[in-house]
Amino acid sequence: MLEHGGRLRQAVLHYGIAEADWLDLSSGLAPWPFAIPEIDQRAWARLPETDDGLEHAACAYYGAPNVLPVPGSQCAIQLLPRLRRGGKVGVLSPCYAEHAEAWRRSGHIVREIMEQEVDFYLDTLDVLVVVNPNNPTGLSLSAERLLEWHARLAQRGGWLVVDEAFMDNTPDLSLSAQSWRTGLIVLRSFGKFFGLAGIRLGFVLAELKLLKLLAEQVGPWAVSGPTRIVGQACLLDTAAQALQRERSVLASGCLARLLGVHDLPPQGGCALFQWLITPHADRLYEFMAQRGILLRLFAHNSSVRFGLPATEADWLRLEQTLLAYTKEVA
């Protein structure tokens, strides 16, 4: 299994710090979870049904003609490769490592490529996978450029898979409304923006024919009844969505400035995290962890990702710890 953020219990055991005493900035989730609606007892007792309004709410929220709810977009990442025969897959890197792993595991030949290499390799690929905004860099590609790549792939029966897990703050960059196009597959994560990763919900946006094939792989009752109720309530709560967008953008900007003040200027980021490359990434990660602040370390390129603090106390703790780190390395 690949390494991910959010391994708080592992950190508790390794560093001997109680779980309640940690500030977990490792996962890139909005630190303000949406309110959980009251859930009728029957939702726990009955099998879930698909005519409860969740799909309609998701289509409206994403501006997509068709959606398939799945138990987290990770589910779709693992199942999509099964829908194609073995072929050549390009994964725009760096990005969320599960994409390349899933295609390799299903027998495809995977080439991890940089953005500037796409045009060179594209006509040799059957599938191109793009994370937009990128995780961990936070950088975004325009819809126009992605649609150009899609057109070149689709004319040969290829796919463009776009993982929009961190797109909720910038819906104008989304390809959701274009997901009716043959060979275009858009993945949306629910847990990150809504701060509710524990309920395991995501959506696949694509033409109806492909969604039916994927639904057969996912199987019946994949998303629980209570999860469907929570998801629908959050997708319809436009006031809370506006607040979440506003405060996450403000917090991300504050985080970028705070890191810069302590000589750790980010090289990238989005509304839910900031990312920086430093030759001392291991040292920074370890220093923070020993003081109960968990970051996401990317050892392969010596970088770290900082999620957003939730409260004034969290901000003060982070600021004081960064100050201590700056003094130690000075």
- Residues 6 or more apart whose CB falls under 8 angstroms from that of 207 comprise 66, 179, 180, 181, 182, 184
pLDDT at 311: 97
Residue limits of CATH 3.40.640.10 in the chain: 45-236
Strands 268-270, 273-277: pairing kind: antiparallel
H/E element, 304: strand 303-307
Residue limits of CATH 3.90.1150.10 in the chain: 8-29+239-329
Which CATH topology does 8-29+239-329 take? Aspartate Aminotransferase, domain 1 (3.90.1150)
Classify 269 as helix, strand or coil.
strand
- Residues 6 or more apart whose CB falls under 8 angstroms from that of 78 comprise 98, 102, 105
Residues 64/179, Cβ–Cβ less than 8 Å: yes
pLDDT at 26: 94
Classify 223 as helix, strand or coil.
coil
H/E element, 184: strand 184-189
Residues 106/81, Cβ–Cβ less than 8 Å: yes
pLDDT < 70 stretches in the chain: 1-6
Question: Which amino acid appears at position 328 of this protein?
Answer: E
130, two tokens: 């793009």
pLDDT at 292: 97
pLDDT at 300: 83
Strand partners of residue 92: 113
Q: What are phi and psi of 222, to 5 degrees?
A: -70, -35
Cα–Cα dist 35/56, whole Å: 20
Of the candidates 191, 222, 307, the one whose C-alpha atom is nearest the C-alpha of residue 259 is 307
CATH of 45-236, one of 3.30.930.10, 3.40.640.10, 3.40.120.10, 3.30.310.40: 3.40.640.10
Measured CA angle at 200 (ends 107, 103), to 5 deg: 10
Q: What is the pTM of this model?
A: 0.95
Cα–Cα dist 217/232, whole Å: 23
Strand partners of residue 53: none
Of the candidates 200, 177, 166, the one whose C-alpha atom is nearest the C-alpha of residue 273 is 166
Torsion sign over Cα 99, 101, 102, 104? positive
